[in-house]
């Protein structure tokens, strides 16, 4: 019997209220069956169209969609939903048509001709480090995008505080990459982890995994609780949602 299994609906998820000093934080990634997130320089080729739909459905819940500068340089970055029906859902819930897009960079070496900087249908914020060269800050500001310079101490916490207090964000969706994810986990600032497992093997000792950075020890491992897992026989993908145990 070929029973059709449901795919999840990520447009209307229930989240608890955010903490006072940061948004409620979701991380979303797609990885191969051997746990890799990049093939030939980007994530393209790992996830199906269904995975991309779910990525956009998750954005329906988000006030801010964040990518690290590495991902912006490699793949581009935007907060678009790519579907008027999803935008209508947000409007019906009293949210702006599109979430705010955000990126974070220390070098300030950003592709200023990319959609993230040129699009007029979504707002965007660029978080820079105290060490970012001033001329790079000026070039970025000249695009019209809002620039926030983070302090040297605890920059991730400061960025999240800005999102919560200055942008009024309740839900942040962090879409990678692995170095940024590592810092978000290290700061103890991730509440839920969504990961699609794609039916491919990428291989390679150097290939990135969803979370890079310093490894945890057996004592400090981040512990997760499975909230849901949907196998999709049509794409051979599995869509997993975990909550991070506190
Ligand atoms: N499979 C997936 O779901 C998925 C999702 C996203 C990305 N990816 C892939 O992952 C790769 C990129 O990942 P990545 O780990 O190299 O890069 P990344 O995490 O996207 O970005 C890292 C960069 O973010 C900036 N950054 C991070 N923490 C910072 C801080 N505390 N202060 C200031 N700036 C900070 C730095 O930018 P500067 O270098 O400018 O200083 C850093 O180099 C790409 O190939 C992309 O296609 C895959």
pLDDT in tens, 109-137: 999 999 999 999 999 999 999 999 999 99
pTM for the model: 0.97
Give residue limits of the domains in the chain.
24-244
Question: By alpha-carbon position, which residue is closest to atom 10 of ligand 1?
Answer: 177
pLDDT at residue 216, as a whole number: 97
Q: What is the CATH number of domain 24-244?
A: 3.40.430.10
Which atom of ligand 1 is found nearest the CA of 176?
6
Ligand 1 pocket test, pick from 76, 106, 182 with the greatest ligand atom count within 8 Å of Cβ, gives 106
Q: How many angstroms separate the Cα of 193 from the Cα of each of 29, 82, 176, 228, 244? A: 8, 23, 11, 11, 7
pLDDT digits (tens, 9 = 90+) for 80-95: 999 999 999 999 999 9
Q: Please give the pLDDT value at position 4.
A: 64
36-44 average pLDDT score: 97
Which residues sit with their C-beta closer than 6 Å to ligand 1? 29-31, 37-38, 41-43, 46, 67-71, 74-75, 104-107, 109, 129, 155-156, 175-180, 183, 208, 212
Residue 219 burial (10 A CB sphere; 0-12, 13-18, 19+): exposed
The answer, yes or no, to whether residue 73 has pLDDT greater than 60, is yes
Nearest CA to 208 out of 34, 25, 72 is that of 34
12: pLDDT confidence band, cut at 50, 70 and 90?
confident
| pLDDT mean across residues, the chain | 96
Higher pLDDT: 12 or 145? It is 145
State mean pLDDT over 37-52: 97
Whether 3 has a pLDDT exceeding 60, the answer reads no
Give the whole-angstrom CA distance, residue 186 versus residue 57: 27
Q: Compute the distance from residue 244 Cα to the ligand 1 centre, in Å.
A: 21
Q: Which residue has the tokens 């051979």?
A: 236
CB atoms inside a 10 Å sphere around CB 232: 20
Closest atom, ligand 1, to C-alpha of 156: 31
Q: Which residues contact 101 (CB under 8 A, 6 or more apart)?
A: 64, 65, 66, 67, 77, 78, 79, 116, 122, 123, 124, 125
């Amino acid at each position: 019997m070929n029973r059709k299994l449901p795919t999840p609906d990520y447009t209307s998820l229930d989240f608890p209220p955010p903490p006072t000093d940061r948004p409620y934080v979701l991380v979303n990634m797609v990885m191969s069956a051997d746990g890799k997130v990049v093939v030939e320089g980007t994530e393209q080729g790992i996830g199906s169209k269904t995975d991309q739909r779910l990525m956009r459905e998750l954005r329906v819940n988000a006030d801010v969609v964040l990518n690290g500068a590495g991902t912006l340089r490699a793949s581009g970055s935007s907060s678009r939903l790519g579907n008027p029906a999803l935008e209508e859902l947000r409007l019906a819930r009293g949210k702006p048509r599109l979430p705010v897009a955000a990126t974070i960079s220390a070098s300030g070496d950003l592709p200023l001709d990319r959609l993230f900087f040129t699009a007029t249908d979504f707002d965007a914020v660029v978080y820079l480090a105290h060490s970012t060269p001033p001329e790079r800050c000026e070039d970025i500001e000249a695009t019209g995008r809002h620039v926030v310079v983070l302090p040297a101490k605890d920059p991730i916490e400061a960025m999240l505080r800005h999102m919560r207090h200055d942008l009024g964000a309740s839900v942040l969706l962090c879409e990678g990459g692995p170095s940024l994810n590592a810092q978000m986990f290290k700061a103890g600032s991730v509440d839920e982890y969504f990961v699609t497992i794609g039916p491919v093997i990428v291989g390679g000792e150097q290939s990135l995994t969803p979370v890079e950075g310093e490894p945890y020890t057996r004592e400090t491992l981040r512990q997760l609780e499975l909230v849901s897992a949907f196998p999709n026989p049509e794409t051979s993908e599995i869509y997993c949602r975990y909550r991070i145990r506190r």
